[in-house]
């Protein structure tokens, strides 16, 4: 017998009975029932919480959205399956709300609930064991300012490179430079574990110039073998307000004998809303020197079109959320629109977060030329990138888009 604790929240008695019957046939016996949100809160509070809630949305009294918010705040549910006949556009928004609430979304289904649909969704649930929680808590400990300062002194922040490639030919023309912390005590840490401390301590510039130095050294090595290799670096909008930023970048390029034409600086769209005058001046200076500027995570902010008109960007980084939801008509329409807009503005588009062959094919059909993502290459350190053999990856890539190797 499956020990998963499941709540069925459904105001229609027949639909509620059908859901319970389907769960019983799948071997689930710890089932709690309620007809509205208020009753559901009382039931699961008395039970000490549940693992999964099968939740209707439109109900008299407290609706499903209010129930989910209150139940999550009280720590009474962990995962959700939305059971609703609402239109697809509303369900997409509800899915986003559930994710923002910190709940695990197992899926959305229509009515009546079918066993062959419900079973696979419930199979996605992963119980939280005490051991798992301990690991998560240990990794969530933010490093102190002293730890970060010492890491900078010891040069423990390492550049990792994720290649950008042509969607049809597999040609690689460069990489985005990302950061990892190789900590002697904590292991290899992703940015989410230390960037808040870096930002709080005002150390973004120190980390950026460390990455720029590492990247320029790699670029010089690759180009010494006759291969052009553009590098893209992330800049926080606050860094653009530094009046010495451009001069420091120019000085470092002179040391490495590098050309501005080989560098791209990416700025996240959501940070552009309140950009001071000096920041815009620096953007213009960078473009006048020959650097490229990319607007990152395009489509998730609030002023994309306005910023494209006002700011001197010449590349768009299409947010991974659009790529991963390309099969939904609205997302596909946004991708198509962004590509058409970029063509009119003479801007290059790079699609982020490509993970499947279907995504490659769809993007290529729409006319997108460049992309990056786990389907082709994960971020890697200098040594792995140098040893990386593109030939095998290209073969896989060309099979995915239906072309042959040359």
d(CA 225, CA 102) in angstroms, rounded, equals: 48
Handedness of CA 249, 284, 280, 322 (dihedral sign): negative
d(CA 125, CA 118) in angstroms, rounded, equals: 12
| CB neighbour list of residue 138: distance below 8 Å, 6 or more residues apart | none
Query: CA-based Rg of the chain, rounded to a whole angstrom?
Result: 25
Residue 307 token pair: 């910023």
Of how many residues is the chain composed?
Answer: 406
Contact 235, 267 (CB under 8 A): yes
Rounded (10°) CA dihedral 40, 46, 50, 53: 0
Residue 209 token pair: 């110039």
Q: Distances from the Cα of 294 to the Cαs of 155, 283, 317, 331, 349, in angstroms?
A: 27, 11, 7, 21, 9
Residue 327 token pair: 């099969």
Pairing mode, if any, of strands 157-166 and 315-318?
unpaired
Please identify which of the residues 176, 266, 315, 352 carries the catalytic annotation.
352
352 is a catalytic site residue: yes
DSSP letters spanning 92-142: HHHHHHHHHTT-EEEEEE-SS--HHHHHHHHHT-----HHHHHHHHHHH-P
Alpha helices in 173-319 (DSSP H): 195-200, 204-223, 245-256, 277-289, 304-310
SS3 249: helix
| CB neighbour list of residue 383: distance below 8 Å, 6 or more residues apart | none
| CB neighbour list of residue 287: distance below 8 Å, 6 or more residues apart | 293, 312, 314
Residues with a known catalytic role: 352
């Amino acid at each position: 017998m499956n020990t998963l604790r499941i709540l069925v929240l459904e105001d229609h008695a027949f639909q509620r009975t059908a859901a319970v019957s389907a769960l019983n046939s799948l071997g689930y016996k710890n089932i709690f029932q309620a007809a509205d949100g208020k009753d559901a809160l009382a039931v699961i509070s008395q039970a000490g919480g549940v693992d999964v809630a099968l939740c209707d949305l439109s109900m008299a009294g407290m609706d499903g959205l209010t129930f989910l918010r209150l139940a999550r705040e009280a720590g009474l549910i962990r995962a959700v399956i939305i059971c609703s006949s609402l239109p697809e556009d509303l369900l997409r928004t509800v899915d986003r709300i559930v994710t923002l609430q910190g709940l695990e979304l197992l899926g959305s289904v229509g009515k009546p609930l079918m066993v062959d649909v419900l079973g696979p969704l419930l199979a996605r649930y992963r119980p939280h064991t005490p051991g798992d929680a301990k690991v998560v808590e240990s990794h969530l400990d933010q490093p102190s300012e002293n730890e970060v300062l010492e890491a900078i002194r010891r040069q423990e922040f390492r550049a990792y490179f994720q290649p950008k490639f042509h969607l049809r030919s597999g040609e690689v023309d460069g990489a985005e430079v990302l950061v990892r912390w190789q900590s002697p005590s904590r292991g290899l840490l992703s940015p989410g574990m230390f960037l808040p401390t870096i930002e709080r301590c005002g150390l973004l510039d120190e980390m950026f110039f460390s990455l720029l130095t590492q990247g320029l050294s790699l670029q010089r090595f690759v180009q010494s073998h006759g291969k052009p290799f553009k590098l893209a670096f992330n800049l926080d909008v606050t860094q653009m307000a530094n009046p010495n930023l451009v001069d420091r970048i120019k000085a470092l390029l002179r040391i490495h004998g590098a050309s501005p034409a080989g560098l791209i600086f990416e700025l996240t769209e959501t940070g552009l809303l309140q950009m001071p005058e000096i920041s815009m001046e620096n953007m213009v200076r960078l473009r006048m020197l020959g650097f490229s500027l990319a607007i990152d995570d395009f489509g998730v902010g609030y002023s994309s079109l306005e910023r494209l008109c006002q700011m001197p960007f010449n590349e768009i980084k299409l947010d991974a959320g659009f790529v991963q939801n390309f099969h939904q008509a609205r997302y596909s329409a946004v991708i198509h629109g962004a590509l058409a807009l970029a063509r009119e503005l003479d801007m290059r588009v790079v699609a982020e977060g490509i993970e499947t062959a279907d995504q490659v094919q769809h993007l290529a059909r729409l006319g997108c030329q460049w992309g990056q993502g786990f389907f082709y290459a994960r971020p890697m350190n200098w040594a792995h990138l140098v040893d990386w053999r593109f030939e095998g990856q290209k073969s896989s890539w060309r099979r995915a888009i239906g072309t042959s190797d040359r």
